[in-house]
Amino acid sequence: MTEALPEAPNVNRATCPSRIVLEHVTSRWGILVLAALLERSYRFSELRREIGGVSEKMLAQTLQTLERDGFLNRDAKPVIPPRVDYSLTPMGREAAEQVWGLAHWVERRLPAVEEARDAYDEARAS
């Protein structure tokens, strides 16, 4: 990546529609949904437990947005009690891989980040 940079993405202009999609994918819960579904498909409440800390409302909203953007398949089986499975579309899998790479990178670098923070904070504890 250090070599190329063919052309920079246009996300750095206020009116760019890519920003919207980027925000869907990188939203607080969007990232976590995509990362979870990379492993396997999940049912609604399963996903809710797996992610942890997400309200029903936000999970539903996130899932709808990602489904509309073409990242998720929503498979509602007409049974009682209702059962709905969510899985990644091929495009969603690509997105999830990008996001997962980022998340994993962050995790690996977490110690360095905490070190940097300590240095930063101490330098101003004058």
Partner DNA sequence: CTGAATCCCAAACGATACTG
Partner DNA sequence: CAGTATCGTTTGGGATTCAG
CB of 104 to a second copy, least distance (A): 5
CB-CB contact of 31 with 99 (8 Å): yes
User: Six-digit token pair at 60?
Assistant: 């539903």
Residue 109, interface with a second copy (CB under 8 A)?
Answer: yes
Print the binding letters for residues 68-97 with a second copy: x by CB under 8 A, - otherwise: xxx--------------------x-xxx-x
User: Which residues share a beta bridge with 86?
Assistant: 42, 74
C-alpha span between 69 and 63 (Å, rounded): 10
User: Six-digit token pair at 106?
Assistant: 């962050």
User: Six-digit token pair at 88?
Assistant: 């990644």
Instruction: Out of 43, 50, 73, 84, name the contact with a second copy by CB under 8 A.
Output: 50
The contact set with a second copy (CB under 8 A) reads 1-2, 5, 8-14, 17-18, 21-23, 25-26, 28, 31-32, 35-36, 38-39, 50-53, 67-70, 91, 93-95, 97-107, 109-110, 112-117, 119-121
